[in-house]
Amino acid sequence: MKRLMITTALALVVSAGTAAAQTTVKIGVLTDMSSLYADLAGPGSVTAARMAANEFMANNKDFKVEIISGDHQNKPDIGSNIANQWYDVEKVDLIVDTPNSGVALAVNEITRNKNKVFINSGAASSDLTGPKCSPNTVHWTYDTWMLANGTGKAIVKTGGDSWFFLTADYAFGHALERDTAAVVEKNGGKVVGKVRHPLNVQDFSSFLLQAQSSKAKVIGLANAGGDTINSVKQAAEFGITKGGQNLAGLLVFASDVNSLGLKNAQGLILTETWYWDLNDGSREWTKRWQKERNAAGKIPSMVQAGVYAGVTHYLKAVAALKSAADGKAVVAKMKEIPTDDPLFGKGTVRADGRKIHDAYLFEVKSEKESKYPGDFYKTRATIPAAEAFRPLKDGSCPLVSG
């Protein structure tokens, strides 16, 4: 009897000990699991978040990080429902990823109201760190201003001074068109026309014909995913590039190049902040990601890399504060400590929530130049971190001016 009591008491002490020492952090990966962005984010982002969590837990035994995921189906109402439920019922501390600017802007507001943390990697709208900036949001990987600044400027400088836009008719497309048009005009080019197409269209020939008859030198594709793939494929078919007009893919991911095939995609100029074949660190990470994801042939996108790096930095901030409870405090800490990870290197999170790092201007290789599967890009230029993103004062973010 005595012995039993001692054992029970011991067991209680031990279990109480672990319960008190372990802080649980819950991370929700809110993403597109089944539609046009599922390859560049989706399950691959969940893998990236899990890798960051496992690495962190290996070094910080007193933390327990849980990862859950949800499919927002590219609908802001569904995304908002999941976010509310996660924060209120599931006690999620951080929502991460969230491609689709429409959904991201909705989650941005919910996160602010509930004082949690939102690290966006997949959405592009520069409004997330502009007029809609929030003390609870960090925008990690890229944004429309940076894409416009990279690709737009490079093309205008090499003589592409008249533009026609093919724009996806929602928050993201409008932001990308607006930011690119500003860059084009600032560098002495002009915008001769535009056409706004609905999201997820199959046939672009009608829009391409309008672009063709505009006689613009450059056709700017302010769209993404399947829409970009279909535009590029059909532009080749209608002899647009052969006729002397150039295509500017304003947001092109490695997964898009893969499904276009190098034959259709070669020569495209695009801007990204991360590429799997960039350096040893990213190649090594890609191998681990492929193993974890159980997909040897798949290539991670910059969005997935951003999820990994964002979660890693978030957990550092949580470890420093020893708590994830106060979202605003965690984000403030994230801005205070410098970032350092194998994918984006050393960097900072700015006052408006913008993560700052280098960007790269790539050109898609031709079939001949490509040596192995996934060998897609050659680097045309590196845009240093200080120039890659919108200057703090130009964003009209209330956190900065007020």
Residues of this chain, 124-183, that bind other proteins according to CB under 8 A? 169
34 binds other proteins (CB under 8 A): yes
SS3 category, 31: strand
Q: Which stretch binds other proteins (CB under 8 A): 55-63, 66-74, 172-180, 221-229?
A: 221-229
381, β-bridge pairs = 361
- The amino acid sitting at 271 is T
Q: Which stretch binds other proteins (CB under 8 A): 229-237, 282-290, 312-320, 370-378?
A: 229-237
The least CB distance from residue 262 to other proteins, in Å, is: 9
Task: Say whether residue 261 binds other proteins (CB under 8 A).
Answer: yes
Q: What are the φ/ψ torsions at residue 195 (nearest 5 degrees)?
A: -140, 135
The residue from 259, 277, 288, 400 that contacts other proteins (CB under 8 A) is 259
Q: List Cβ neighbours of 185 (8 Å cut-off, separation of 6 or more).
A: 191
Of the pair 133, 229, the CB lying nearest other proteins is at 229
Shortest distance in whole angstroms from residue 208 CB to other proteins: 9
Q: Which stretch binds other proteins (CB under 8 A): 13-21, 110-118, 237-245, 341-349?
A: 237-245
Nearer to other proteins, 74 or 137 (CB): 74
The nearer residue to other proteins, 154 or 168, going by C-beta atoms, is 168
Number of residues in contact with other proteins, rule: CB under 8 A?
Answer: 43
Is residue 289 a contact point for other proteins (CB under 8 A)? no
Instruction: Write the binding mask 291 to 310 for other proteins: x where contact by CB under 8 A, - elsewhere.
Output: -------x------------
- Beta strands 246-249; 339-341: pairing state: unpaired
CA separation for the pair 70, 98 (Å, rounded)? 10
E strands present in 93-189 = 94-97, 117-120, 137-139, 162-168
Alpha helices in 202-301 (DSSP H): 205-213, 225-237, 254-260, 262-265, 280-293
* Residue whose C-alpha is closest to residue 37's, from 133, 85, 134, 102: 102
> By rule CB under 8 A, what string of x and - marks binding of each residue 201-220 to other proteins?
xxx-xxx-xx-xx-------
Smallest separation, CB 273 to other proteins (Å): 19
Q: Are 388 and 358 in contact (CB under 8 A)?
A: yes
Closer Cβ to other proteins, 236 or 399, answer by number: 236
List all residues 6 or more positions away from 297 whose beta carbon is below 8 Å from its beta carbon. Answer: 373
Query: C-beta of 166: minimal distance to other proteins in Å?
Result: 10
Interatomic CA distance for residues 152 and 159, integer angstroms: 11
Q: Under the criterion CB under 8 A, does residue 109 sit at the interface with other proteins? A: no
Instruction: Answer yes or no whether residue 370 interacts with other proteins by CB under 8 A.
Output: no
Contacts 24+ apart (CB under 8 A), 189-192: 189/156, 189/160, 189/161, 189/162, 189/163, 190/161, 190/162, 190/163, 191/162, 191/163, 191/164, 191/165, 192/162, 192/163, 192/164, 192/216
Looking at residue 392, its amino acid is: L
Give, as ranges, the residues between 184 and 203 that touch other proteins (CB under 8 A): 195-198, 200-203
Least Å distance, CB 1 to other proteins, is 57
Which residues here bind other proteins, judged by CB under 8 A?
34-40, 42, 169, 195-198, 200-203, 205-207, 209-210, 212-213, 225-226, 229-230, 233-234, 237-239, 243, 255-256, 258-261, 263-264, 298
